[in-house]
């Protein structure tokens, strides 16, 4: 009797802990022994180290990626009556943060090949009320920042990068996060740089903006218990910062591993003639470094493919099944079906395959072969 095949999850943050167990355990023990758990030396060190890795001056650790974006908007004075141009094909957190700041999102379609904000559609989204543009570096793929920046400069707008899925990605040999006025990152456990819980970071070269964000993240305090401005509680804790300092040391090598696995997937899928039109691997933008937070293929029969892979113990995900403008909570934006066609088509076709640094070459081959075999079976049925 053949032994059951081991399952391949779509993501496995526990594997990353096990890969660095000794270093992480030592870092956690250091924090526990020190006895300071909120906004202490680990957070200060990680803020400086992460900002330096991105090539900017200031980092502010906060409670989550969503709060990073909300605080950045509030610190910039963006609120009621203001509009911000961003994409509809994104995690809903991007748009939720805009509304949490009191502003209005104006949603733009994405490029059909790279799935990020389409610069050719951006100009039509600019109004007299627009204050900023928020490109999302989705799946680890940098948005096309040069023309987006050109549009921002011509209209006198801020550029706020949503880099929650793009730690270590680069555009024209410069790190994402270093292009805009401010950038926001998430350290959710499945990210390329993931904590053991929630966490986020705002980075900027603007010292005044950074100081404003520091005030806002802790009740507006400069002096304890004295609120200079109306703030909130959004603090990266010492334990998470200590863990992230360990993982930051391994980010570059782990991103390279992700890229190698992505190349292996693409070679298998493009080399199989049976899948040449059925499953479309992701494209990588020229002059950019995609870090493959997710390896996302497209398939017109996505749901069938996902079910078939599940039957073989292969986990997948859909990022994201419903564009923001089609979700019940955002019907008030007034964008009906067919208004953002690329995003709507992608929502029915995208499928995230297993990808994380600890995944083996053999597991990638197994996933790819399952796709090839499944598509070949479908072709045989048609003939």
Helix boundaries (H) for 178-316: 207-217, 238-248, 251-271, 302-311
Q: Is residue 278 domain-shared with residue 348, that is, in the same domain?
A: yes
Q: What is the pLDDT of residue 379?
A: 38
Give me 95's structure tokens: 């748009």
Q: Is the pLDDT of residue 280 over 70?
A: yes
Cβ–Cβ under 8 Å, residues 330 and 324 = yes
Looking at residue 292, which CATH number applies to its domain?
3.90.1150.10
Helix axes of 238-248 and 21-34: crossing angle, nearest 10 degrees: 150
**Is residue 7 a part of any domain in this protein?**
no
Range of the domain at 378: 251-382
Q: Could you say which of 248, 271, 290 is where a domain stops?
A: 248
Q: Is residue 175 domain-shared with residue 268, that is, in the same domain?
A: no
Pairing of strands 158-162, 130-133: parallel
Mean pLDDT of 197-214: 98
Rounded Cα gap, residues 378 and 113, in angstroms: 26
Q: Is residue 157 domain-shared with residue 17, that is, in the same domain?
A: yes
Strand partners, 107: 86
Rounded Cα gap, residues 97 and 164, in angstroms: 13
Pairing of strands 200-204, 58-62: antiparallel
Number of folded domains in the chain? 2
Q: What is the pLDDT of residue 272?
A: 67
Mean pLDDT of 33-41: 96
Mean pLDDT score of the chain: 94
**Is residue 205 a part of any domain in this protein?**
yes
Q: Is 286 exposed, middle or buried (0-12, 13-18, 19+ CB in 10 A)?
A: exposed
pLDDT-based confidence at 307, cuts 50/70/90? very high
**Is residue 172 a part of any domain in this protein?**
yes
Q: What is the pLDDT of residue 380?
A: 43
Element (H, E) at 186: strand 182-186
Q: Is residue 105 domain-shared with residue 60, that is, in the same domain?
A: yes
Cβ–Cβ under 8 Å, residues 182 and 200 = no
Give me 72's structure tokens: 């950045």
Q: Is the pLDDT of residue 313 over 60?
A: yes
Non-local (6+) Cβ contacts of 287 within 8 A are: 171, 172, 173
**Is residue 5 a part of any domain in this protein?**
no
Min mean pLDDT across 30-34, 86-90, 320-324, 374-378 is at 374-378
pLDDT-based confidence at 271, cuts 50/70/90? confident
Q: Is residue 53 domain-shared with residue 88, that is, in the same domain?
A: yes
Per-residue pLDDT reduced to its tens digit, 49-83:
999 999 999 999 999 999 999 999 999 999 999 99
pTM here is 0.95
Q: Is residue 167 domain-shared with residue 269, that is, in the same domain?
A: no
Q: Is residue 214 domain-shared with residue 301, that is, in the same domain?
A: no
Element (H, E) at 352: strand 350-353
Per-residue pLDDT reduced to its tens digit, 111-163:
999 999 999 999 999 999 999 999 999 999 999 999 999 999 999 999 999 99
Q: What is the pLDDT of residue 67?
A: 98
Q: Is residue 238 domain-shared with residue 139, that is, in the same domain?
A: yes
DSSP string for residues in 8-56: B-S--HHHHHHHTHHHHHHHHHHHHHHT--BSSHHHHHHHHHHHHHHT-
Looking at residue 154, which CATH number applies to its domain?
3.40.640.10
Rounded Cα gap, residues 98 and 40, in angstroms: 29
Q: Could you say which of 231, 248, 265 is where a domain stops?
A: 248
**Is residue 1 a part of any domain in this protein?**
no
Q: What is the pLDDT of residue 376?
A: 56
pLDDT-based confidence at 374, cuts 50/70/90? confident
Q: Is residue 297 domain-shared with residue 354, that is, in the same domain?
A: yes
Half-sphere exposure of 38 (CA within 13 A, CB side): 6
Q: Is residue 267 domain-shared with residue 236, that is, in the same domain?
A: no
Q: Is residue 206 domain-shared with residue 304, that is, in the same domain?
A: no
pLDDT-based confidence at 337, cuts 50/70/90? confident
Q: What is the pLDDT of residue 336?
A: 84
**Is residue 168 a part of any domain in this protein?**
yes
**Is residue 18 a part of any domain in this protein?**
yes
Give me 367's structure tokens: 């996933």
**Is residue 2 a part of any domain in this protein?**
no
Cβ–Cβ under 8 Å, residues 327 and 367 = no
Angle, CA of 164, 188 and 325, to the nearest 5°: 55
Q: Is residue 136 domain-shared with residue 268, that is, in the same domain?
A: no
Q: What is the pLDDT of residue 2?
A: 39
Q: Could you say which of 230, 248, 266 is where a domain stops?
A: 248
Strand partners, 297: 351
């Amino acid at each position: 009797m053949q032994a059951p095949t081991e399952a391949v999850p779509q993501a496995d943050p526990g594997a990353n802990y096990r890969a660095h167990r000794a270093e992480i355990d030592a870092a956690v023990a250091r924090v526990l022994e020190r006895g300071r758990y909120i906004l202490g030396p680990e957070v200060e060190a990680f803020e400086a180290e992460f900002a330096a890795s991105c090539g900017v001056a200031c980092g502010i650790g906060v409670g989550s990626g969503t709060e990073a974006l909300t605080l950045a908007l509030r610190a910039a004075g963006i609120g009621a009556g203001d509009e911000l141009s961003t994409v509809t094909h994104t995690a809903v957190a991007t748009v939720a943060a805009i509304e949490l700041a009191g502003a209005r999102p104006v949603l733009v379609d994405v490029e059909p090949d790279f799935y990020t904000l389409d610069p050719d559609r951006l100009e039509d989204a600019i109004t007299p009320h627009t204050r900023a543009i928020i490109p999302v570096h989705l799946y680890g793929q940098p948005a096309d920042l040069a023309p987006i920046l050109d549009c921002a400069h011509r209209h006198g707008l801020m550029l706020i990068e949503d880099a929650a899925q793009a730690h270590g990605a680069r555009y024209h040999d410069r790190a994402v996060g270093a292009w805009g006025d401010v950038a926001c990152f998430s350290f959710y456990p499945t990210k390329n740089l993931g904590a053991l819980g929630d966490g986020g970071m705002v980075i900027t070269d603007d010292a005044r903006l950074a100081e404003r964000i520091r005030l806002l993240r802790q009740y507006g305090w400069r002096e304890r218990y004295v609120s200079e401005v109306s703030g909130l509680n959004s603090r990266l804790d010492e334990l998470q910062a200590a863990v992230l300092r360990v993982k930051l040391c391994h980010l570059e090598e782990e991103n390279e591993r992700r890229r190698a696995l992505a190349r292996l997937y693409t070679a298998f899928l493009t080399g199989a003639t049976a899948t040449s039109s059925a499953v479309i691997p992701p494209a990588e933008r020229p002059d950019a470094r995609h870090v493959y937070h997710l390896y996302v293929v497209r398939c017109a029969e996505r749901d069938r493919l996902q079910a078939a892979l599940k039957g073989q113990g292969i986990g997948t995900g859909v990022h994201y099944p419903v564009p923001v403008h089609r979700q019940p909570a955002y019907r008030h934006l007034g964008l009906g079906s067919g208004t953002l066609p690329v995003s709507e088509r992608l929502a029915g076709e995208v499928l995230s395959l297993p990808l994380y640094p600890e995944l083996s070459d053999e597991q990638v081959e197994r996933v790819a072969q399952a796709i090839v075999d499944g598509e070949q079976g479908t072709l045989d049925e048609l003939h």
